[in-house]
Structure 1
Amino acid sequence: MTVARPEIRTFLCRSDNIGVLLRDPATGACAAIDVPEAGPVLAALDEAGWTLTDILVTHRHADHIDGIAEVKRRTGARVTAPAKAGATIPEVDVAVSEGDVVRVGGLSAEVWETPGHCADHVTYWFAAPRLVFAGDTLFTLGCGRVMEAEPEVLWRSLTRFGQLPDDTLVYSGHDYVLSNARFALAAEPDNARLAARMAEAERAKTEGRFLVPTTLGDERATNPFLRAGEPALARSVDLPPGTDAGRVFTALRAWKNKF
């Protein structure tokens, strides 16, 4: 049976959070990926004429969950959240862990535990339409800040994305594209494809757009944190080519923290 292509709307919340609505056109079921604040999510639903049935939470940080209570009160949506977050996320109906499957109408996603940014972080991988909702683990041209683990933990989480097809669409939790692009160019100034993406990001900014989603193919070619195995990235952090990619990643992340 052919699965209908999901309908997706993205929009800004707060100052730089990305709000996402995912709808199964066959059933009308609709999910919000996190609820950074209630107003923009409810406005996007009204504009689209969609009825929210689900909220899929990536992690417990306030800028991803602040609007959950109000949106659930207004819509009755079922809240799915990481089991490891415990009671820190409000109004949870379903707690999920590694390998669980969540459904939005006829769409299904595998739950990955992707710690590093925080201990409870999960990612939702919709294999059939090739969509991945990465929260604050993987960004366009960047990755999340390491907050509750050693950098190697986030590196292991990121390597999972590297196994996905090039045409996978990656939805991240923030629009940090310009700052990420500036760092990426500092780390790999001779990457012509990266220079082109920087120009694209600047155009998007002037036009009021953001480069979310991205594709895994674009990220493999331009995101320094996925390219830590490349000799050029090792040299950029004063390590010899052939250095373990996890060690290069750790050095890159430390540099980005100060950039």
Structure 2
Amino acid sequence: MFKLVSLNLNGIRSATSKGLEAWLDQTRPDCMGVQEVKAQAGDVAGRFEELAGLRGYFHYAEKKGYSGVGLYTRHEPSDVAIGYGSSEFDAEGRYVELRFDTPHNKFSLISCYFPSGSSGEDRQLAKFRFLDEIYPHLQQLKQEREFILVGDVNIAHQEMDLKNWKGNLKNSGFLPEERAWMTRLLNDGGLVDVYRQLHPDTTGEAYTWWSNRGQAYAKNVGWRIDYQLATPTLAQGARAAEVYKGQRFSDHAPLCIDYDWRS
């Protein structure tokens, strides 16, 4: 089995102080995609390049303490792509891709952090620009190689993907335009929401993020906004998926999926 984890860290220093590395030692994933690293290269050097035997590759934001993504892996990649060629969003540290190529197969793992639009109209418009850019990029990549994108997409796709869907119809993360984009990616775009493939009807256990306001986590008033999106051939190998809630490393929970690619 190939175990792949995705986790928005809400700060790598914070998450590791809450027992993340010990959990990784126990869980032993093959790869882990992380988002919101909230650190620069100098902060990671000598401290977080490796966690529990996994080597990290990162895309840092230019702005200190902001965004940033990474991929930790036990397997040496044949190439690393930092950013996806965006004049606007590559400066924000939102995309890192590890390529594992052989003479017969081309396979990528991607950690991606989609913008949030919740802070105001300017950032919502930026989010829409990001969606307009990343869609054709993923479609082109799909023509060239198999891949799994893991990350915080900041979109709850369906009503079952958040607790209070009626109260969030006009809020970023559940806007009709955002949900339509996800539908297009999964239908016309041909990618697979791997968790939903395995758990088509799960609601509360599927949530991956909870607001820090009130008692959202205690009452499980959550959102499912973290995904593993795979090309169909790779998605067929998915065998088990869970959102791990035994410990809290962040305001997000790890999304863990096991793949069997020998079948």
Under a length normalisation based on structure 2, what TM-score does the superposition of the two structures give? 0.41
Query: If each structure's helix is expressed as a fraction of its own residues, which one has the higher value?
Result: 1
Query: If each structure's strand is expressed as a fraction of its own residues, which one has the higher value?
Result: 2
Under a length normalisation based on structure 1, what TM-score does the superposition of the two structures give? 0.41
Bigger Rg over Cα: 1
